[in-house]
Chains A and B, each alone.
Chain A
Amino acid sequence: MIDWPLVSVIIFLPLIGALIILFIKEDELTSINIKWAALLATLGTFILSLILWLQFDYSNPSYQYEEKFRWFDDFNFFYHVGVDGISLFMILLSTFLTPLCILASWNNIKKRVKEYMLSFLFLETVMIGMFASIDILLFYIFFEAVLIPMYLIIGIWGGNRRIYASFKFFLYTLLGSVLMLIAIIVMYRNTSSMSIEFLQGNYFSYNTQLFLWLAFFASFAVKIPMWPFHTWLPDAHVEAPTAGSVILAGVLLKMGGYGFIRFSLGMLPEATEFFIPLIMTLSIVAIVYTSLVALAQTDIKKLIAYSSVAHMGIVTIGIFLVNQQGLEGAMMQMISHGLVSAALFLCVGVIYDRMHTREIEFYGGLVQRMPLYATVFMIFMLGSVGLPGTSGFIGEFLVIVGAFKFSSYVVIGAAFGIILSAVYMLYLYKRIIFGTITNNKLADILDINTREKIILIPLAISVILLGIFPNLFLDPMRLSLELIITNYEIANAK
C-alpha cells in the first residue's frame, strides 16, 4: 500500500495551488499564468485521486488510506481522513469536475481571474476534505466552509440577480447546517467520540435519535435539496456562472446524499426507520412536482435546475429504501447526475457564451449550424432521461428494482417522474436543437471549439462508460454499502 499521506496531499494540493496563485500578480499578461497554475493544480489533484481508485482494496468495507492525528488536546477530535467505497467516487467526482470547470471559465471569466481561481481551488480543497473526513467536526468544518467560496462565486461572477441568489444560498444552507452542529455536539456528549466510524454503531436512545435525525435532516435536505427546501437551488443555479452551476449541481448537491447515507442511515438507524414514510412522500412529491415545474420553464438553466431536484428525489428514495439495490442505485444516480447535469450546464454555457441568453425561445435549429454540439448535447440529454446504455439508466433502474421490495406506490411515483423527465428533456432538446433556424442572430453561430471539445468529450465518454460498465463503479462501493445496510438491519431488528 501507499506509505505517504495520499489523502491529505489530495485535499491540500489545490490549496497549495491557491497559495501560489496568491503570489502571482494579476494583470492582462499574467492572468493566463494564473489560469494555467489553477489548471495544473487541479489536474494534478485529479491524477493523484486516480491512484486512490487504482490502489483501492475492493475487499475492505471500511476506511482505507487512513491518516489520524490528534488535533484538540481536550476533546477527542482528530484530524482523521480516509476513503471508503462511498466517499471514493464522491472525491473522484470533485477532482474530475474541477479541472473541467477551470477550463470552462478559461475565456468567459474576464474580471478578477485571480480571485475566481482562488475560490475554485479553495472550494476543491473543502469539497474533497469533506468527503474524506472521518471525524465529524472536521466534516462539519469543511461542510460549512464550502459556503464561503460558493457565496463569492455566485455573488461576484453571477448574473443579474446574483446578490439575491448568493444570500439565499448562503443563509438557507447555513440555517440547515448550524442545526447539524448542535446535533454533532449532542452526539459527542453522549459518546465522547467524534469518529464517524465509531458512531456507526447504535449508541443513541430512540428519542435522542429522533431529534438528531431531524437536525441532520434539516441540513442535508436543504443541501440535496428535497422539496420543499429546494427554493434556493433554482436561484443559485441560474445566477451562478457556468462553472459555479457545474460544481453546485455536480458535487455540492451530493453532499446531502452523502450525509444521508453516512449519518442518517449509518448512525441513526431506528430514527431513519421511523421517518422513511416522510422521506418517501417528500421524494415522490419532489419528483412529480419539480418535473412539472421544469416543463414550464423558459430558461434552460432553470429547467436543468428543477430537473436536478427531481433526480435527487430518486436519490433520496434509493437511499431510504435501505437495501442493496436502492443504495447502489442512489450512489450511481448521484455519480451519474454529477456528470450529466454538470455536462448539461456546460452545454448551456457553450451557447450562452455565444449568444448571452438562456431563453429557450431564442434558440431553435441549432443542429443546422452546430452538428457536433447537437450530438454531445444529445448524449447528455439521454443520460439525464435515463436511456439504457447511459449512466442515468443504471441508477434509476436499480432504485426502481429496490423500490419494488418496499412499496409499489413508490415505484409508480418514481417511474412517473422518469417518464416526465423524458418529456421535459426531449421537449427542451426539440425546441433548441431541432427545426429550422428562425432567429437571424443564430445564422453564424459557431460549433464547439477545441477547448469545449476537451471539456465535453471526457464527460460524454464517462457517461457512456458508466452506462456500459457499471460494475467498474459498483464493485468498490458494494462492501461499504453492505456494511451500512447490515448495521441498519441489526439495529432495527433489536
Chain B
Amino acid sequence: MLNNIYNIFFIPEIFLACSSFVCLLFGLFLKKNAFRQTSNLAVFVLLLTILLVYYDSESNFANYKSLFSHSSFINFFKILALLGSIASIIISKDYFLGIKLKNFEIPVLFLFSTLGMMLMIASNNLMSMYLAIELQSLSLYVAAAIKRDSISSAESGVKYFILGALSSGILLYGFSLIYGFTGSMNFNEISFYLSKYDNLNLGLIFGLVFVMVGLAFKVSAVPFHMWTPDVYEGAPNSITGFFAIVPKIAAVALIYRFCLVPFENFYLEWSQIILFLSIASMFLGAIAAIAQSNIKRLLAYSSIGHIGYILIALVAANDDGIKAASIYMFSYMIMNVAIFAILLSLKVKNEYLINISDLKGLSKSNPIVSLSISIIMLSMAGIPPFIGFFGKFYVFIAAIEQELYVLSVLGVLASVISAFYYLRIIKIMYFDESISEGIINFQISFQSKIILSLSLFVIICFIFYPSLLINISASLTI
C-alpha cells in the first residue's frame, strides 16, 4: 500500500532510527552544550514518535507483516516505553551535568535502546525479536558502563554484558529449537503449525524453556535476577533510572506476546514456568529488599517484586490479564519516574543520595519532598487510594477470574512483606530523629519538576477518574 515512498519515513520505528542518527551527527558537530542540546532534541524526537505511533495505521506495516505486528496492545506499550524514555531523559539531564558526565552519546544511546524496545514490543518473528533485543541490550550495556573512570560503573557494564550475552545465547538456542521443530520463525505460523497438535514434543518444550529463561533474564524475574541489583547499584543513578523505568516495559510486552501468540494453545506448558517465576519474584523481591541499605538496590528488588505481580496477570492469560498488565505497567512506570525524579535531585553533603539512612530528617528540611516520597512508597506498597493499589487490584481480579486462588493469596502475602521496606523509608524520613540537619539539598530543574508533579498528580488523582486509563487498557488486543 505504499503509494508514496516517503510514507516509509512515517513508520515510527524508521522515523526514530533515522532521527537517532541525526541526533548522533547533531551532537558530533555541536561544540558547546552538546549534551544538553542533544538531550532536548532526543526528547523532541521521542515526542514526535509518540504522535506517529498514535496515528500509525496498519497499512504502513504491509511490507513488514512477517517481521512485525501491529495491534492496540503493541501501540499502548510502545507509547508507554516512549513516555518512560522521555521522562527519564528529562529527569536525568541535570544529574549528568552534576556529575560532569556530558557525553552527548547518552541520549543517543537512550534513543537507540528505545528503538530496540519498540521493535521488541512489535516483533512477530523470532529473528526480528532477537535482533530487537540485541539492539536494545547493546545500547544498555554501553550506557551502564558510560562512566568510564568509575570502577563500579565499568563493573556493572561488564557484568550486565556477560550475563546478558549468556542469556541471549540461551534465547537463541531456544529459538533454533523452536525453528527446527516447527519450520517457521513467524509467530502466527508457529501458532498455526502447533494448533495441529495436542502436545508439545520434547524438542519444543526444551525450546520453550530456553526462551523463557532468556526472557526471564530480560524482565529480571527470579531466579534470573542476579544481575539487577548489581547493575542498578553500579551504574550512574540516572542510567539506573532508565533501566528501572523503560526496558522492563518492553520486556514485559515481549514475554506477553511470546506466550500468548505462538504458544497460546499450550497454556499449561508455559504457565507452570511463569507461575514459578512469579511466586519466586514476589517473595524474593519482598524479602531481599528488607536488608538493603542502598536505595538503588532496594529499588532493584522492588522492581523484581513488581515483575512478580505482572507475571501473575500473565498466568491468568485472559483479557483481564492483559488489561491488568497494562494498568500495572503504567503505574509501575509512573511510580518509578516519580521516585527517580526525586532521587536524581537529592544531594547529601554534595553527593547524590545513595544510602537510605541519609534520608533521615528529610521530613523536617524538605516536608514536601518527603511527603512525595511517602506517597510513592505507599503507592508502590499497594496501599489505597494511590495508583499502585489499582495495579495490584486488577492483577488479582484477573487471577481470580482464572480461579488462581492460591497464587492470589501468595501475592497479597508477599505484598504485606514488601510493605515493610516501603514503610521503612517513611520511618527513616519521619520517625527517626535526625542528628545532622540541613545537609540534604533538593535542587530540581523546572522540567523535572513538571515531570515529577505530573507523575505525582497521576499517582494521587487516578482514583478520581480511573476510567480514562481503564477504558484504554480494556480495549487492548494482543
* Interface residue SS majority, chain A: helix
Question: Which B residue sits closest to A176, measured CB to CB?
Answer: B416
Interface membership of B193, Cβ < 8 A: no
Interface membership of A152, Cβ < 8 A: yes
Interface membership of B427, Cβ < 8 A: yes
Interface pick from B109-117, B206-214, B466-474: B466-474
Contact of A156 (CB < 8 Å), options: B378, B396, B430: B430
Cβ contact within 8 Å between A181 and B423: no
Contacts A73-B467, A179-B412 given: A144-B384 contact, CB under 8 Å?
Answer: yes
Distance between B409 CB and nearest chain A CB, rounded to angstroms: 6
Interface membership of A19, Cβ < 8 A: no
Distance between A491 CB and nearest chain B CB, rounded to angstroms: 24
Contacts A167-B420, A182-B412 given: A74-B470 contact, CB under 8 Å?
Answer: yes
Cβ contact within 8 Å between B400 and A72: no
A441 cross-chain contacts in B, Cβ below 8 A = none
Rounded to whole angstroms, the CA-CA distance of A178 and B417 in the bound complex is 12
Rounded to whole angstroms, the CA-CA distance of A112 and B431 in the bound complex is 12
Interface membership of B19, Cβ < 8 A: no
Cβ contact within 8 Å between B409 and A141: no
Cβ contact within 8 Å between A167 and B423: yes
Rounded to whole angstroms, the CA-CA distance of A181 and B431 in the bound complex is 29
A163 cross-chain contacts in B, Cβ below 8 A = 427, 431
Cβ contact within 8 Å between A171 and B384: no
Interface membership of B136, Cβ < 8 A: no
Rounded to whole angstroms, the CA-CA distance of A147 and B385 in the bound complex is 11
Distance between A18 CB and nearest chain B CB, rounded to angstroms: 12
B400 cross-chain contacts in A, Cβ below 8 A = 182, 185-186, 189
Cβ contact within 8 Å between B384 and A145: yes
Cβ contact within 8 Å between B466 and A167: no
B99 cross-chain contacts in A, Cβ below 8 A = none
Interface membership of A94, Cβ < 8 A: no
Cβ contact within 8 Å between A166 and B431: yes
On chain B, the number of residues with a Cβ less than 8 Å from chain A's Cβ atoms is 33
Interface membership of A198, Cβ < 8 A: no
Rounded to whole angstroms, the CA-CA distance of A147 and B419 in the bound complex is 12
Interface membership of A311, Cβ < 8 A: no
Distance between A372 CB and nearest chain B CB, rounded to angstroms: 36
Contacts A171-B419, A175-B413, A189-B401 given: A145-B470 contact, CB under 8 Å?
Answer: no
Interface 0/1 of A130-148, CB less than 8 Å to B: 0000000100111011011
Cβ contact within 8 Å between A181 and B412: yes
Contacts A73-B467, A152-B430, A182-B405 given: A144-B412 contact, CB under 8 Å?
Answer: no
Interface membership of A188, Cβ < 8 A: yes
Interface membership of A170, Cβ < 8 A: yes
Q: Which of B386-440 contact A (CB under 8 A)?
A: 389, 393, 396-397, 400-401, 405, 408-409, 412-413, 415-416, 419-420, 423, 426-427, 430-431
Interface membership of A162, Cβ < 8 A: yes
Interface membership of B383, Cβ < 8 A: yes
A89 cross-chain contacts in B, Cβ below 8 A = none
Contacts A163-B427, A179-B412, A186-B400 given: A71-B466 contact, CB under 8 Å?
Answer: yes
Rounded to whole angstroms, the CA-CA distance of A111 and B333 in the bound complex is 36
Distance between B308 CB and nearest chain A CB, rounded to angstroms: 15
Cβ contact within 8 Å between B396 and A174: no
Cβ contact within 8 Å between A140 and B397: no
Rounded to whole angstroms, the CA-CA distance of A163 and B251 in the bound complex is 39
Contact of A178 (CB < 8 Å), options: B413, B426, B427: B413
Cβ contact within 8 Å between B409 and A182: yes
Q: Which of A150-181 contact B (CB under 8 A)?
A: 151-152, 155-156, 162-163, 166-167, 170-171, 174-175, 178-179, 181
Interface membership of B463, Cβ < 8 A: yes
Rounded to whole angstroms, the CA-CA distance of A253 and B421 in the bound complex is 26
Interface 0/1 of A181-213, CB less than 8 Å to B: 110011011000000000000000000000100
A112 cross-chain contacts in B, Cβ below 8 A = 363
Cβ contact within 8 Å between B431 and A156: yes
Distance between A298 CB and nearest chain B CB, rounded to angstroms: 26
Cβ contact within 8 Å between A145 and B385: yes
B467 cross-chain contacts in A, Cβ below 8 A = 72-74
Distance between A325 CB and nearest chain B CB, rounded to angstroms: 37
Contact of A181 (CB < 8 Å), options: B393, B426, B463: B393
Contacts A140-B384, A188-B397 given: A73-B470 contact, CB under 8 Å?
Answer: yes
Contacts A72-B466, A73-B467, A162-B431 given: A182-B396 contact, CB under 8 Å?
Answer: yes
Distance between B415 CB and nearest chain A CB, rounded to angstroms: 6
Distance between A85 CB and nearest chain B CB, rounded to angstroms: 27
Cβ contact within 8 Å between B396 and A147: no
Rounded to whole angstroms, the CA-CA distance of A140 and B384 in the bound complex is 8
Question: Which B residue sits closest to A77, measured CB to CB?
Answer: B466
Distance between B432 CB and nearest chain A CB, rounded to angstroms: 8
Cβ contact within 8 Å between B384 and A178: no
Q: Which of A56-74 contact B (CB under 8 A)?
A: 71-74
Cβ contact within 8 Å between A171 and B470: no
Rounded to whole angstroms, the CA-CA distance of A246 and B41 in the bound complex is 58
Rounded to whole angstroms, the CA-CA distance of A141 and B367 in the bound complex is 25
B430 cross-chain contacts in A, Cβ below 8 A = 152, 155-156
Question: Which A residue sits closest to B474, measured CB to CB?
Answer: A74
Rounded to whole angstroms, the CA-CA distance of A175 and B384 in the bound complex is 14
Distance between A439 CB and nearest chain B CB, rounded to angstroms: 31
Contacts A72-B467, A74-B470 given: A171-B420 contact, CB under 8 Å?
Answer: yes
Rounded to whole angstroms, the CA-CA distance of A141 and B392 in the bound complex is 13
Rounded to whole angstroms, the CA-CA distance of A182 and B403 in the bound complex is 11
Rounded to whole angstroms, the CA-CA distance of A378 and B157 in the bound complex is 72
Distance between A274 CB and nearest chain B CB, rounded to angstroms: 20
Rounded to whole angstroms, the CA-CA distance of A140 and B392 in the bound complex is 14
Rounded to whole angstroms, the CA-CA distance of A333 and B467 in the bound complex is 42
Supply 21 A–B pairs (Cβ within 8 Å), ascending by A: A72-B466, A74-B471, A137-B393, A144-B383, A147-B383, A148-B378, A151-B426, A152-B430, A155-B431, A163-B427, A163-B431, A170-B423, A174-B419, A178-B416, A179-B409, A181-B396, A185-B393, A185-B397, A186-B405, A188-B397, A211-B405
Give the top 7 A-B pairs by smallest Cβ distance, nearest first. A178-B412, A141-B384, A73-B467, A155-B431, A185-B400, A175-B416, A74-B474
Given contacts A73-B470, A141-B384, A186-B405, 7 further A-B contacts (CB under 8 A): A74-B471, A74-B474, A115-B367, A141-B389, A167-B420, A171-B423, A185-B408
